[in-house]
């Protein structure tokens, strides 16, 4: 070895040879560093949306992110408080919690110049509800009268083309008639499935999908499917929430570790999902530029209430006992590095007190208490067959770690190595099929990401008899009655109180064990300021300042 030439220098020399030899080719590699940052434009990580980007067909966070930038609906959730505020709606009125009259604000347009009218909404909703269009979010329209005609439960041919509950009154007014009383219904209208659509969507659908046109603060400049979407601020946007930056480039990353590495190397400005492996170092890497705040996501262990070994009030003690045997505080700290918070009710902190979040509602049943847990389980005759499994899907989300930890906790309490074991299922699809086919033989993992920040959304779809996401098939007449009453209430206060009463039934029956609330996490570069996440753990792009 020659002396005197430092190692790094030699590597640099070798590399510069490599770079020179590649100059003839289209090359941007050897510079490193800026990665083509445009002034005023945010470079943000993105995941390839699994479904086509249509409002009523997008049910994932990544697609929702785009819709949130290019669309504005009747309501919009305040990114700070989660409160549903009027966006395009001027007034939403009802005297009976069932018939609503919606009046739009004046002067709102789509980015192609077309006016946003009452028909823009009615046509979009009719499109989304109709079974022929196979929209994933069709069920969001199920409370509107006539849904069963355009979307027959049998999957057969629809007997109507439009929802009978929707009527256009004039250019800025339309009415909605629901199938039941639903006092918080107007507050659900901030969800992406309810945004208006321009004529271009219906006239040239393929072209629209290639370059969506909306009415929000951003416009799509170009969309290379599977790799990058470039959004630019729409100068003519008439709303009050104009973009404070020039635009956003959403880049598809296949692995959030690479996105994080790119952030460190200065090729990316914003990652909204810090990989688990980096959580240990993220504070020292990013300091204040790391965000970790509650999102509207709760994880539970749900019991198969169709299985006699687990069901019925007689086994309520058993279910509560298992809940008390889980050391939530330890697991959230050791496995999730504080990015999750032990759950003490069935909603989420993002609802805040005003919205119905009531920490501690679960009471002693959600507190780690080995002695009482052992007593309760013993009193219920022990675990069915002496053992239990926790089913989870092994393909995504690294659920194995925490499932093993939960089982460990239960095993320690029961002083047996084999009382609880994890039961992995290969793929998420298979997992869902087992759930739908009522093939679960013990508690299984369930996660719920809210559609809108309302207590109703955390309870009704999950625990109401026959509800769409009631995977444990829990059914309790008392619970159903309280939910119905809450929906019929004419004011927020009584409605929320009603839902909380229903939640107390969950605490007594424990059809699902609340485990923890999930936080959203994000990291950003020095170029950005005013970065915040909303309750859906999506960055509030329009408010971010660059430079």
Partner 1 sequence: MGRYTLRRLLQMIPVFIGSTFLIFFMVYALGDPVAALFGDKAPDPATAARIRKDLYLDEPLWRQYLHYMGQIFSGHFGTAFNGRPVTELMASAFPVTLRLTLVAVVFEMALGITLGVLSGLRRGRGLDTSVLLLTLVVVSVPTFVSGTVLQYLFGVSWGWARPSVSPEAPLGELLLPGVVLGLVSLAYTTRLTRTSIVENARADYVRTAVAKGLPRHRIVTRHLLRNSLIPVVTFIGTDIGALMGGAIVTERIFNIHGVGYQLYQGILRQNSPTVVGFVTILVIVFLLANLLVDLLYAVLDPRIRYA
Q: Binding mask 261-280 vs partner 1 (x if CB under 8 A, - otherwise)? A: xx-xxxx-------------
- How many residues interact with partner 1 (rule CB under 8 A)? 75
Q: Which residues on neighbouring strands pair with residue 447, listed in sequence order?
A: 299
Binding part of the chain for partner 1, among 110-118, 239-247, 260-268, 399-407 by CB under 8 A, reads 260-268
Cα 114 to Cα 203: distance, rounded to the nearest angstrom = 13
| Site for partner 1, residues 14 to 53, rule: CB under 8 A | 15, 18-19, 22-23, 25-30, 32-33, 35-36, 48-52
CB 279 to partner 1: min, Å: 17
Contacts of 5 (CB under 8 A, 6+ apart): none
| Alpha helix ranges (H) inside 364-399 | 370-379
Q: Which is nearer to partner 1, 153 or 371 (CB)?
A: 153
| Site for partner 1, residues 170 to 209, rule: CB under 8 A | 209
Q: Which is nearer to partner 1, 17 or 508 (CB)?
A: 17
Contact 261, 274 (CB under 8 A): no
Count the neighbouring beta carbons within 10 Å of the beta carbon of residue 479: 23
| Site for partner 1, residues 417 to 436, rule: CB under 8 A | 426-430, 432-433, 435-436
CB 209 to partner 1: min, Å: 7
| Site for partner 1, residues 297 to 326, rule: CB under 8 A | none
Q: Which is nearer to partner 1, 70 or 446 (CB)?
A: 446
| Site for partner 1, residues 328 to 387, rule: CB under 8 A | none
Q: Which of 419, 393, 397, 398 is nearest to 408 (CA)?
A: 419
- What single string gives the DSSP state of each residue in 109-159? B-TTS-B--HHHHHHHHHHHH-GGG--TTGGGGTTBTTHHHHS-TT----S
Q: Which of 86, 101, 173, 257 binds partner 1 (CB under 8 A)?
A: 257
Q: Which is nearer to partner 1, 71 or 147 (CB)?
A: 147
Q: Which residues on neighbouring strands pair with residue 109, listed in sequence order?
A: 115
8-state DSSP, 238: -
Binding part of the chain for partner 1, among 66-74, 149-157, 172-180, 520-528 by CB under 8 A, reads 149-157
CB 249 to partner 1: min, Å: 11
465 binds partner 1 (CB under 8 A): no
Q: Which is nearer to partner 1, 57 or 183 (CB)?
A: 57
252 binds partner 1 (CB under 8 A): yes
Cα 516 to Cα 533: distance, rounded to the nearest angstrom = 19
Contacts of 114 (CB under 8 A, 6+ apart): 120, 198, 199, 200
Q: Which is nearer to partner 1, 203 or 255 (CB)?
A: 255
Cα 56 to Cα 202: distance, rounded to the nearest angstrom = 13
Contact 344, 507 (CB under 8 A): no
CB 139 to partner 1: min, Å: 5
Cα 101 to Cα 458: distance, rounded to the nearest angstrom = 26
Contact 269, 526 (CB under 8 A): no
398 binds partner 1 (CB under 8 A): no
To 10 degrees, the CA torsion angle through 95, 96, 99, 101? 20
8-state DSSP, 540: -
Binding part of the chain for partner 1, among 77-85, 236-244, 251-259, 399-407 by CB under 8 A, reads 251-259
Binding part of the chain for partner 1, among 73-81, 172-180, 463-471, 525-533 by CB under 8 A, reads 463-471
| Site for partner 1, residues 116 to 145, rule: CB under 8 A | 131-132, 134-136, 138-139
Q: Which is nearer to partner 1, 468 or 490 (CB)?
A: 468
CA angle (336 as vertex; 331, 341 as ends), nearest 5 = 70
């Amino acid at each position: 070895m020659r002396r005197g030439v430092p190692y790094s220098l030699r590597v640099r020399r070798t590399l510069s040879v490599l770079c020179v030899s590649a100059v003839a080719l289209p090359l941007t590699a050897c510079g490193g560093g800026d990665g083509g940052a445009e002034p005023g434009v945010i470079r943000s990580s993105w995941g390839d949306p699994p479904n086509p980007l249509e409002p009523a067909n997008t049910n994932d966070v990544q697609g929702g992110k785009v819709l949130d930038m290019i669309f504005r609906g009747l309501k919009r959730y305040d990114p700070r408080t989660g409160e549903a505020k009027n966006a395009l709606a001027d007034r939403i009125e009802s005297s009976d919690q069932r018939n609503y009259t919606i009046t739009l604000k004046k002067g709102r347009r789509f980015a192609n110049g077309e006016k946003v009218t009452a028909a823009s909404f009615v046509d979009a909703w009719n499109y989304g509800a109709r079974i022929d269009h196979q929209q994933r979010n069709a069920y969001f329209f199920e409370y509107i009268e006539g849904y069963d005609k355009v979307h027959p439960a049998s999957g057969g041919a629809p007997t109507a083309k439009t929802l009978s509950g929707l009527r256009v009154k004039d250019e800025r007014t339309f009415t909605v008639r629901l199938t039941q009383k639903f006092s918080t219904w107007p507050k659900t209208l901030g969800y992406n499935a309810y945004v208006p659509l321009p004529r271009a969507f219906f006239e040239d659908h393929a072209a629209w999908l290639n370059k969506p046109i909306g009415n929000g603060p951003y416009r799509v400049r170009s969309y290379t499917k599977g790799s990058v979407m470039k959004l630019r601020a729409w100068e003519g946007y008439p709303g009050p929430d104009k973009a404070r930056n020039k635009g956003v480039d959403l880049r598809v990353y296949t692995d959030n570790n690479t996105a994080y590495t790119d952030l460190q190397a200065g090729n990316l400005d914003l990652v909204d999902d810090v990989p688990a492996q980096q959580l240990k170092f993220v504070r020292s890497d990013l300091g204040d530029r790391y965000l970790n705040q509650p999102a509207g996501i709760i994880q539970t262990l749900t019991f198969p209430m169709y299985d006699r070994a687990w069901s019925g009030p007689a086994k309520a003690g058993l279910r509560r006992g298992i809940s008390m045997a889980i050391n939530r505080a330890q697991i959230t700290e050791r496995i999730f590095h504080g990015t999750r918070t032990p759950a003490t009710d069935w909603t989420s902190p993002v609802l805040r007190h005003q919205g119905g979040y009531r920490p501690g509602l679960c009471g002693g049943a959600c507190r780690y208490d080995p002695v009482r847990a052992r007593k309760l389980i013993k009193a219920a005759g022990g675990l069915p067959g002496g053992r239990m499994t926790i089913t989870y899907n092994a393909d995504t989300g690294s659920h194995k770690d925490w499932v093993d930890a939960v089982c460990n906790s239960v095993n320690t309490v029961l002083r047996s190595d084999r009382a609880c074991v994890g039961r992995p299922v290969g793929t998420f699809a298979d997992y869902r099929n087992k759930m739908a086919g009522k093939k679960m033989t013990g508690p299984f993992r369930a996660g719920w990401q809210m559609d809108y920040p309302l207590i109703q959304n955390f309870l009704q779809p999950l625990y109401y008899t026959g509800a769409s996401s009631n995977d444990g098939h829990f059914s309790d007449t008392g619970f159903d009655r309280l939910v119905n009453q809450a929906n019929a209430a004419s004011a927020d206060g009584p409605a929320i109180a009603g839902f909380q009463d229903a939640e107390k039934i969950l605490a007594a029956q424990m059809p699902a064990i609340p485990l923890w609330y999930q936080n959203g996490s994000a990291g950003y570069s020095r170029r950005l300021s005013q970065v915040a996440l909303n309750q859906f753990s999506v960055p509030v792009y329009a408010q971010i300042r660059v430079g």
